[in-house]
Amino acid sequence: MMRFILPFVVFVVLAVFLFKGLNLNPREVPSPLIGKPAPGFVLPQLHEPQQNFSPADMKGKVWLLNVWASWCVSCREEHPVLMDLAQQNIVPIYGLDYKDNPVEAQRWLQRGGDPYVLSVTDTEGRIGIDYGVYGVPETYVIDEQGVIRYKQIGPVTPDNLREKILPMVAELQAK
Amino acid sequence: MKRLLILLFCLLPTFALAGEAQDMAADPVLEKRMIGLAEKLRCLVCQNESLASSHAELAEDLRREVRELMQKGMSDQEILDYLVSRYGDFVLYDPPMKKTTLVLWYGPFALLLLGAGVLFLQLRKRKSEIAEPQLTEEQSARAAALLSERQDSQTQPKDIQA
């Protein structure tokens, strides 16, 4: 009996691991920034370049920092979801326009609508490096103390908004 | 005239390359050090390529960052720490030895030991299985009889010779 049970057990264990592996996304690299203060920056605003914005201005509020660009294809997929979220007025969304041409970025927002309270321009992608950005779009949930609580890699979808981002925002706002 | 034009067109690719080569010329020692370090780092966009060989835009930005940090006088280890604090251990091609990576580092050896143990037990079990079975009394008596018979037949020719 033993000679059948043992190979079967080994097979089941292997199958479970492989099946789990099938559902993992190798592109999702866990961010070491979760639970750490959001890196500081002072960047010019997209619509009013003479004015700056810094995450320090957001102390005391729960907010989303969404990294986007006019050249980014997945951002198009995400855009209506963000527009919807902005209309519900649940949480302010700030944009980090990553390695983009400001003129094209503004045109892009004119065409599809602007879900952001404001966007800042990171033309050379330096702030992106500080935030560990490696694939646009990325979205950070930042709490009242300015600590990054969650990072969504890839587009915000109705699913991950409902299951991860909004519950996290609600929990942080309740504090 | 036509030939001259063709010749000029042949030169076009070299102009295109000139932009990239310039950085090398600026400080070849630093560039070599940067490439050496970048070979130990993973490009996050292409994942199976090193930062040194990748042409992804992010890789170019990160190489620029590494170059600038070197110019600031940071050591290789400081630069690695700088990148790990932003992108995690994933940027390193050699995963560091930590509690969470113990299985990764020692798992193969544990499996090897396990395999060797199973093999050893199996061999010992088999050895005992193929051990000669004990003869019954009757069988051993018969064997003795057969053996003595044979001994007799062997000694006989000797007697004749004698």
For residues B43 and B18, membership in a common domain is answered with: yes
Nearest C-alpha in A relative to B87: A132
Q: Please name the helix (run of DSSP H) or strand (run of DSSP E) that holds residue B13, with its range, or none.
A: helix B2-26
What token pair was written down for A112? 């599809």
What token pair was written down for A2? 């033993």
Interchain CB distance below 8 Å, B90 and A131: no
> How many CA atoms within 13 Å lie on the side-chain side of A12?
5
For residues B109 and B84, membership in a common domain is answered with: no
Which residues on B lie below 8 Å from A129 (Cβ)? 61-62, 65, 86
What token pair was written down for B107? 């798992």
How many angstroms separate the Cα of A174 from the Cα of each of A5, A37, A85, A167, A168? Answer: 52, 20, 19, 11, 10
Residues 6+ apart with CB under 8 A from A175: A143, A144
ipTM of the complex: 0.79
Which residues on B lie below 8 Å from A100 (Cβ)? none
Q: What is the pLDDT along chain B (162 residues), one digit of tens a residue?
A: 667 666 666 565 555 544 444 555 578 888 899 999 999 898 888 878 888 888 888 899 999 999 999 999 899 999 999 999 999 888 898 888 888 888 888 999 999 999 999 999 999 988 888 777 777 888 888 888 888 887 766 655 555 554
Structural domains for chain A = 36-174 (3.40.30.10)
Threshold 0.80, pTM exceeds? no
For residues B104 and B92, membership in a common domain is answered with: no
Which residues on A lie below 8 Å from B57 (Cβ)? 99, 125
**The predicted structure's pLDDT at residue B156:** 57
Which string of b and e fits A34-68 if b means at least 16 CB within 10 Å? eeeebbebebbbbeeeeeebebeebeeebbbbbbb
For residues B64 and B87, membership in a common domain is answered with: yes
**For A29, which of B61, B65, B88 is closest by C-beta distance?**
B88
Nearest C-alpha in B relative to A28: B44
Residue B145 located in a structural domain: no
For residues B69 and B118, membership in a common domain is answered with: no
Residue B107 CA, chain-centre distance (Å), reads 14
Task: For the beta carbon of residue B92, count every other beta carbon within 10 angstroms.
Answer: 15
What CATH number did the domain enclosing B73 receive?
A: 1.10.8.640
Q: Which domain holds residue B118?
A: 97-128
